Amino acid sequence: MSSIGYAVSDSLVLARRNLSHVRQVPERLIDVTIQPLMFVLLFAFVFGGAIPLPGGGDYHEFLMAGIFVQTLAFGIVGPATGMATDLAEGMLDRLLSLPMTRAAFVLGRILAEMATIVIALCVMTVAGLIVGWTPHTGVLSVAAAYGLLLLFAFAILWVGMCVGLVARSADAVTGIVFLVIFPLTFVANAFVPASTLPGVLRTFADWNPISAQVAAVRHLFGNPEAASSAAAWPMQHPAVAALLWSVALLAVMIPLTLAAYRRRTRP
């Protein structure tokens, strides 16, 4: 078997190892199943009636893109805390003492986390359909929207892996993630039109990568967009901006993550 074949085989073994933890402790899926469902119901039925959209439109349909992107953004927590825990407990050292491809540990975790992301997208799709959300575009546009979501999730997972490698503990990971992700997801167009925000915050929201992802998904699903500013380039070209943000994240985070991994596993 070639070196690539061994790397793929080892990565799949470690992906199964990570997924087996989910089977043993199903509570690990709360953040990708129960949590997004709660957000859908909370914003749709508690806040939905109090948030009008400029130009009209169904808030439930406006909401769902924000829920999709927010849930994927918080997907950084899983790989970050998992990596930090494995490092703290010495699991990584034990695994690397075996005859395995060194990069397989990172790739296996990424594969396992992507599997949970697919579950999350399925849960959110069903929840959205229940509260009245419906895509209004063709199959290709809907497929493109899910493709952008998966690419964004893939980029976010690499960010999470890097955070887990540089953080001192799993507890520190949680604080770092919420300090960064909360402002990004709420100072954006995810749950309210960015045009309702005051000047500085509106400018931040227009150029926020979360806003670009949300606006792109809304556009591709044919849902109400309520664009905040005609002058903001990402809001004029949301699909292109979302793609560029994800590619840029991958271009930066993959080398950083692998470099941090080499430092932590150096003999």
Given this model, what pLDDT does residue 19 score? 66
Whole-number Cα distances in Å, 221 to 2, 23, 132, 141, 206: 43, 33, 14, 7, 20
Q: Say if 96 falls within a structural domain.
A: no
User: According to the model, what pLDDT value does residue 229 have?
Assistant: 52
Residue 194, in any domain of the structure: yes
Question: ∠ CA(129), CA(132), CA(134), 5° rounding?
Answer: 65
Which structural domain, as residue segments, surrounds residue 224? 31-87+114-264
Give mean pLDDT, residues 203-208: 90
**pLDDT band at residue 29 using 50, 70 and 90 as cut-offs:** low
In a domain, 208, yes or no: yes
In a domain, 51, yes or no: yes
Q: How many CB atoms lie within 10 A of CB 252?
A: 14
Q: Given this model, what pLDDT does residue 9 score?
A: 72
Query: Three-state DSSP class for 231?
Result: coil
Q: How many domains does the chain have?
A: 1
Give the pLDDT band of residue 5 (cuts 50, 70, 90): low
Residue at token pair 């470690």 = 14
Residue 147 lies in a domain: yes
How many other CB atoms are found less than 10 A from the CB of residue 168?
Answer: 10
Task: Give the model's pLDDT for residue 85.
Answer: 80
Cα distance between residue 107 and residue 113, in whole Å = 10
**C-alpha span between 36 and 88 (Å, rounded):** 29
Averaged pLDDT of the chain: 82
Judged against a pLDDT cut of 90, whether residue 61 lies above it is answered with no
Radius of gyration of the chain (CA): 19
For residue 18, tell me if it sits in a domain. no
Mean pLDDT of 32-45: 78
Element (DSSP H or E) covering residue 57: none
Instruction: Summarize pLDDT for 143-197 with one digit per residue, the tens.
Output: 999 999 999 999 999 998 888 888 877 777 878 888 888 888 888 888 888 888 8
Do 161 and 80 contact (CB within 8 A), yes or no?
yes
Residue 18 has pLDDT above 70, yes or no: no
Side-chain half-sphere CA neighbours of 208 within 13 A? 29
- Beta carbons within 10 angstroms of residue 182's beta carbon: 13
Is residue 109 assigned to a domain?
A: no
Which pLDDT does position 247 carry in this prediction? 97
| pLDDT classification of 43: cutoffs 50, 70, 90 | confident
Query: CB count, 10 Å around CB of 228?
Result: 23
- Indicate the residue type of 247: V
Q: How confident is the model over 221-264, as pLDDT tens digits? A: 998 876 555 568 888 899 999 999 999 999 999 999 989 888 87
pTM over 0.85: yes
* pLDDT tens profile 75-134: 888 788 878 887 777 776 676 676 667 777 788 888 888 888 898 899 889 888 888 888
pLDDT at 251: 96
C-alpha distances out from residue 104 to 101, 111, 162, 185, 202, Å: 5, 10, 15, 31, 42
Q: What integer pLDDT is reported at residue 167 of this predicted model?
A: 80
Let me know if residue 93 belongs to a domain.
Answer: no
Of residues 214 and 3, the one with the higher pLDDT is 214
